[in-house]
């Protein structure tokens, strides 16, 4: 049985193991190994602000960490703690979309509904906080999940990384009234 709960700072060591494992395994065929490794260093990672805000979730199956993901009421669209620089202003729920952030699933639990369950938690929480829309920056392996959950592609971007590489992503949006 899958259980979803809010992440705590005590989860960070396990998240630091899960995120690279998920990226390496589930990005195969979408990104080169060089792009993936660069993203693990420069983009992917736990975001302690999401955890502190209470908007980041972990999924467990029989006590094992199966996945993670969250949403944010802040402007940051993607990236772990290593990408932060300065303040992260709050969004206006009436006019700006909440951000869906940092979804990773353990490869042993891929395509078993873990990401969908976490996304349902995020949608409900963002709606309860007064948001009307959601926005995210999907990695290429995540696009099918988000498209199946009502997100529409808005633009393709190349995220610059500190080593000179870029990471192709897709900015997607969804109204909270969408199914």
Q: Where do the domains of the chain lie, and which CATH numbers do they carry?
A: 2-75+90-175 (3.40.630.30)
Both tokens assigned to 5:
């709960």
Both tokens assigned to 15:
């998240």
Q: What is the pLDDT of residue 84?
A: 61
Q: What is the pLDDT of residue 78?
A: 77
What is the residue-level pLDDT of the chain in tens, covering all 179 positions?
Answer: 899 999 999 999 999 999 999 999 999 999 999 999 999 999 999 999 999 999 999 999 999 999 999 999 998 887 776 666 677 889 999 999 999 999 999 999 999 999 999 999 999 999 999 999 999 999 999 999 999 999 999 999 999 999 999 999 999 999 997 54
Q: Quote the pTM value.
A: 0.93
Q: What is the pLDDT of residue 81?
A: 62
Q: What is the pLDDT of residue 80?
A: 73
Answer for the pair 173, 135: CB distance below 8 angstroms, yes or no. Answer: yes
d(CA 71, CA 23): 19
Q: What DSSP state is assigned to residue 90? A: B
d(CA 29, CA 23): 12
Outline where 58-154 has alpha helix (H).
114-128, 143-148
Q: What is the pLDDT of residue 85?
A: 65
Cα of first residue to Cα of last residue in the chain, in angstroms, is 24
Beta strands in 36-87 (DSSP E): 56-61, 64-72
Q: What is the pLDDT of residue 112?
A: 94
């Amino acid at each position: 049985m899958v259980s979803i709960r809010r992440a705590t700072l005590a989860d960070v060591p396990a998240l630091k193991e899960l995120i690279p494992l998920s990226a390496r395994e589930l990005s195969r065929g979408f990104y080169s190994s060089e792009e993936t490794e660069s993203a693990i260093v420069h983009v992917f990672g736990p975001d302690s602000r999401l955890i502190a805000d209470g908007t980041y979730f972990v999924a467990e199956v029989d006590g094992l960490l199966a996945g993670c993901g969250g949403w944010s009421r802040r402007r940051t669209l993607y990236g772990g703690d290593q990408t932060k620089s300065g303040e992260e202003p709050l969004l206006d729920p009436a006019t700006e979309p909440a951000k869906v952030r940092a979804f990773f699933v353990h490869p042993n639990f891929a395509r078993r509904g873990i990401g969908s369950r976490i996304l349902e938690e995020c949608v409900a929480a963002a709606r309860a906080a007064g948001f009307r829309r959601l926005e995210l920056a999907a990695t290429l392996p995540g696009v099918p999940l988000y498209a199946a959950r009502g997100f529409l592609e808005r633009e393709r971007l190349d995220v610059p990384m500190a080593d000179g590489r870029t990471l192709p992503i897709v900015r997607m949006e969804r109204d909270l009234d969408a199914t």
